Amino acid sequence: MKRTGWAAIAATAVMLVLAGCSKPGKGESTPDTSPEAQRAAREAAQEALYEAAVAAAEASHGAGEPAVWTLSDEDTTIRIMGTVHFLRPELDWRSEAIDTALAEADTLVFEADVSSREAASEMMNFVSTHAIFTDGRQLTSLLDEGETEELQAALDYLGFPLGAMQTFRPWYAAVNLSVLQMKKDGFDPTAGVEQVLEREGKAAGKGFAYLETIEEQLGRFANLPDEEQVDFLISSAESVEEGSEMLDLLVSEWEDGDVTGLAALMSNPEMMGSEAIYDALLKARNQDWVPKIEAMLDEPGTVLIAVGAGHLAGKDSVINLLRAEGYDAFIGDAGAMTLVYAGPLADRDEANRLRDRLSAEQRLDGIVVRIGDD
């Protein structure tokens, strides 16, 4: 059985966001049958969602390297790239566009500060107040017998004792499961894109800025109802043994610059498991980030923004939200782009339909612009 989704990971002094696992959305009511029957029906739905998403991803293609968008005005250039927070150390993901964006940037912007002493203190405080039970409950007190068995099986596979997680709230247990699974399968946080860029940025004397605090990022998960958190945990447990297959596919789509494929795999509520998880991980955060990115255009200079690839794919992506605000964010620098003009057309609706058709048929990342008043 294969499943997919995304989780947030918090550790004592490090915070990264990467692939986890989730269950399908609850668009249709589930018959009131035994827990075993409901679980089997859920797994069948997950399989269908997975297969459809993989087929859609494999049918699309990118430019052969990770996508880098450019947003600029008369005195500011902002480049935006998607990242993967855990990677296999042997993967060579660098490109000329990424190297140029890093070399020219005055400031590197990441999701959150995860490396400073202040960040470590904030993380420890957050974990002690939002990730650990403070009322005497234990993790398994929120699980039924079948869910406890599912969690135990996942932990046995990972070689981690259940007792060590009993004080964890479900969301925190879920993200720890994801990290344990990724490390077991050979993915390394020190090889992740942000950590590589941060090391090089510090060596070059770059400035650093962040789009959110640790509490803003992880608080969305901590504030989910217990039921949503348990769903998140059990879905993560169910997919532990097959997690690397999906993560390898996600990395492949990212490395190819296949934004459409990434959107099919992760940037929709159905693949996340619920609207609540989708909003907490992607949609609400994207909406919060856009005004902060807009404000960066008020300061002259060159900026490189590096955030999880899922934030830049799909209908609710940062890129689409910026375009909805009237900004022209495009892949590639103008000097290295092949510009294809289509039109003019009679009205904007017709132009939007043509843009969507060119995107679907030719994989062109188009924008609609007004060229005159007539």
| Segment 111-139, tens digit of pLDDT | 999 889 999 999 999 999 999 999 999 99
Summarised one tens digit per residue, pLDDT across range 321-343 is 999 998 887 786 444 444 444 55
CA distance 299 to 242: 46
Question: Does 350 lie in the same domain as 333?
Answer: no
Q: Which residue, 56, 68, 6, 81, is CA-closest to 261?
A: 56
Residues 6+ apart with CB under 8 A from 288: 211, 212, 216
Q: How many domains does the chain have?
A: 2
pLDDT value, residue 19: 31
Question: Does 280 lie in the same domain as 313?
Answer: yes
CA distance 98 to 193: 11
Q: Containing domain of residue 346, as a range?
A: 340-374
What angle, rounded to 10 degrees, do the helices at 170-184 and 226-238 form? 20
Question: Does 356 lie in the same domain as 309?
Answer: no
pLDDT value, residue 241: 79
33-47, 66-80, 135-149, 214-228: segment of lowest average pLDDT: 33-47
What angle, rounded to 10 degrees, do the helices at 243-255 and 35-59 form? 20
Question: Does 131 lie in the same domain as 17?
Answer: yes
pLDDT value, residue 25: 37
Using an 8 Å Cβ cutoff, are 297 and 76 in contact? yes
Quick one: how far is CA 47 from the chain centroid?
21
130-134, 250-254, 344-348: segment of lowest average pLDDT: 344-348
pTM above 0.75, yes or no: yes
Question: Does 228 lie in the same domain as 344?
Answer: no
pLDDT, mean of residues 78-96: 95
Question: Does 327 lie in the same domain as 353?
Answer: no
Residue 273 or residue 275, greater confidence: 275
pLDDT value, residue 275: 84
Question: Does 331 lie in the same domain as 346?
Answer: no
Question: Does 276 lie in the same domain as 171?
Answer: yes
Residues 6+ apart with CB under 8 A from 204: 103
Share of the chain above pLDDT 90, in %: 57
pLDDT value, residue 20: 31
Structure tokens at 209: 């800025």
Structure tokens at 111: 């999701």
CA distance 87 to 225: 31
pLDDT value, residue 265: 86
List, edge to edge, every strand of the sheet that includes 107-110.
Answer: 207-210, 107-110, 301-308, 76-83, 68-72, 330-331
Question: Does 48 lie in the same domain as 37?
Answer: yes
Tell me the pLDDT of the chain averaged across its residues: 82
Question: Does 135 lie in the same domain as 54?
Answer: yes
CA distance 323 to 327: 5
3-state secondary structure of 297: coil
Question: Does 301 lie in the same domain as 346?
Answer: no
Question: Within 10 A of 90 (CB to CB), how many other CB atoms are there?
Answer: 8
Question: Does 168 lie in the same domain as 248?
Answer: yes
Name the pLDDT band for 276 (thresholds 50, 70, 90): confident
